Amino acid sequence: MAKKDTDSTKDKPLDFNERRMQALAKENAQLRDYVSTMMERLRENDQLFSRLFALEASVLAAGDPEDMCFTLLRELRSQFSLDMVRIWLDRDSIIGSTQMNALSEQDLIWLEAGEIKNMGIARRDVWLLQMEKGKFPWLQERDNDLGSLALLRLGSKDKPFGVIGLGSNNKERFKPEQSTDFLAHLAQVISLSLEHAISHQRLARLAITDALTNTHNRRFLQPYSHQPLSSWFGKGVMVAAMYFDMDDFKGLNDRLGHAAGDDALTELCDTIRRYVRAQDPIIRMGGDEFVLLLPGCDIEKAKEIGGKIRADISQLTCHGETLSVSIGLALSNAEDDMTLNDLVKAADKAMYVAKALGGNRLEYAAAKD
């Protein structure tokens, strides 16, 4: 009888309270799992936010667009474990004239006008792709192992100026159905930062640029005027300076008008540029006077350059009148390390000697004379 009673108790249905307790226990276990999962996601998101904030801080601290892009590439690679980080920029956009010499061809690729819109990227802030062996037109052979790609548009939908590509060999890293809030926010911060840096750089360039000849103006020299040349060009570098003055420029203006005078100055600067390096500063000192600085150029080479410029100018006509220029040349040897002001004054003095001797000539005066 005892055994029968035991079996009867075992088969007895659970009462309401017992069933409720078991359900609560199951719900509690599920809730603990859910809370644990949420806490893990919160920790991951907190780490992601921290890395994003650090990245944004680094980008904002960059001094110019080139530095900003270089910082962006470095930080994205180091902080987010990506297999590819690349920037595509539109040559025809606001950033098209920006120098990016510090970035390699693997890091930066220039696009032609309209390519971003033609690819369909302009319509979205972020585009997530899963790929088969790098099946995307902008990718290269070295990208064949990429499994997924995130493309972040830089600039507005109407005027995109670039794209940042984040690639991973993991096909699940950037799945099309994933949220893109973080990436869209990052793209917006980078876009605004780059646009601000470009605008600031352009304003700074305009402040030191002569609008007529597109040479530098006197303000360009102000930070260096009273400093040794080595603080600008480096120690042990000789620097030649030429001072140019158009002959009878006032007479030309009086006879033909200021438009003709402007044309003559443009001809002079175009001629100078043909014989010098792109980085050699040409400065309009005022009126028809210009200074050319040639770092690393010895006196014989400087005389050769100056002679060719003078000869070419003397073959030009402007509105029917022949042009000519007087040139003063001075040199600061490496051991002299003169100030910029003193070198320019020496070249200016030599130019006045050329004027006094009839013009259309080059005169050299040792910088210490």
Inter-axis angle of helices 249-256 and 258-274, nearest 10: 140
Local confidence band at 142 (pLDDT 50, 70, 90 cut-offs)? confident
Comparing CA positions, the residue from 18, 177, 151 lying closest to residue 86 is 151
Q: Is 300 helix (H, G, I), strand (E, B) or coil?
A: helix
Residues marked active site are found at 288
58 CB burial (10 A radius; 0-12, 13-18, 19+): middle
The residue-averaged pLDDT of 286-315 equals 95
For residue 357 the two structure tokens come to: 């001797």
For residue 245 the two structure tokens come to: 């003055």
Query: Quick check: 369 pLDDT over 50?
Result: no
pLDDT value at residue 262: 94
Query: Quick check: 203 pLDDT over 90?
Result: no
Instruction: Tell me the pTM.
Output: 0.62
Return the percentage of the chain with pLDDT > 70, whole number.
Answer: 88
List 286's β-bridge partners, or say none. 289
Query: Quick check: 1 pLDDT over 50?
Result: no
Comparing CA positions, the residue from 334, 327, 336, 273 lying closest to residue 303 is 327
Residue type, 248: D
| 97-107 residue pLDDT tens | 888 888 888 89
List 321's β-bridge partners, or say none. 318
pLDDT value at residue 45: 54
The residue-averaged pLDDT of 234-261 equals 93
Question: Rounded to a whole number, what is the distance in angstroms from the first to the last CA of the chain?
Answer: 132
Angle at the Cα of 351 (from 349 to 352), degrees rounded to 5? Answer: 70
Query: Quick check: 6 pLDDT over 60?
Result: no
User: What residue ranges define each of the domains in the chain, with the CATH number in brackets?
Assistant: 37-206 (3.30.450.40), 216-364 (3.30.70.270)
The residue-averaged pLDDT of 23-42 equals 69
Local confidence band at 128 (pLDDT 50, 70, 90 cut-offs)? very high
For the ranges 119-123, 201-205, 231-235, 284-288, the lowest mean pLDDT is seen at 201-205
| 143-194 residue pLDDT tens | 888 999 999 999 999 999 999 999 999 999 898 888 888 888 888 888 888 8
Query: Quick check: 280 pLDDT over 70?
Result: yes
